[in-house]
Amino acid sequence: MRPILKSPEPATFTAWKGGLASVPGWNHFTQTFPLIKRDLKAALLQEQFQVCCYCERDIAGGAHIEHLVPKSLDPGRTYDYSNLLASCEGERAKGRPPETCGHLKDNAPLSVHPLMPDCSSYFVFSSSGNVSPSPDAAKQQPAQDSITTLGLDSARLVALRRVALEDVDSRLPSPGNTPEDRALFRAEVTKLIAEYSAPDAQGRLTPFSTALVQYLERYL
């Protein structure tokens, strides 16, 4: 999980809300106003750099609009853009319960969420792709609650993170034994941290960037 900086909502969404005589239900909105929904979803994907708001997997090919504070808990925030995120589908398949993220969360509240500037600091990722709570005592229970609620420790996510981390290892040179070799190694680590910390020229962030950066920082 990484912090998300919310952008202004799409102009089409603002205009649509301004023209409402009454507030429709969410299902009515998604079925009756597909073009407004398309613009809304595109804006969310853009501000998240095409990765899931919770697990950070690539979602350019499939995502749903997620209410951070569930509609059932606060109906007044159903169309509040600051409450909307883009989540992966969580491996949901017909007849099978979702495994992760927004669909698994459903109507549960979150102790740690991506609108918190320090959300990344609540989680520790291992080189094998596993996730655990921060050693900070004040953060452990909120982190564990969020890991459970979102399924961030699912076998599928662990495997995907492990593959991403193995790719990072393949890009690293040998640390070497000389001061020059070690300096080159640290320079490459620093370069990769910068690469994974920001979106590319197409506005896409490397999936699982939080885990990758955290892993690389251990070499510095």
- 63-78: pLDDT as tens digits: 999 999 999 999 999 9
Tracing tokens 């370069």 back to the chain, one arrives at 191
**3-class state of residue 52 by DSSP:** coil
pLDDT at 60 exceeding the cut of 90:
no
Cα separation, 216 vs 6, in Å, equals: 27
Cβ within 8 Å of residue 126, ≥6 positions away: 132
Cα separation, 30 vs 53, in Å, equals: 20
Residue 93: per-residue pLDDT: 66
The chain-wide mean pLDDT, for the chain, equals 95
Residue 172 corresponds to which amino acid? L
Q: Are 38 and 10 in contact (CB under 8 A)?
A: no
Stated pTM of the model: 0.95
CA distances 187 to 126, 181, 193, 199, Å, are: 22, 10, 10, 20
Query: Treating both helix axes as pointing N-terminal to C-terminal, what angle do 155-171 and 179-197 enclose, rounded to 10 degrees?
Result: 140
Residue 94: per-residue pLDDT: 61
Q: What is the mean pLDDT of residues 108-113?
A: 96
Q: Are 2 and 48 in contact (CB under 8 A)?
A: no
Residue 96: per-residue pLDDT: 77
Token reading at 125: 């990722």
pLDDT at 176 exceeding the cut of 90:
no
Residue 105: per-residue pLDDT: 96
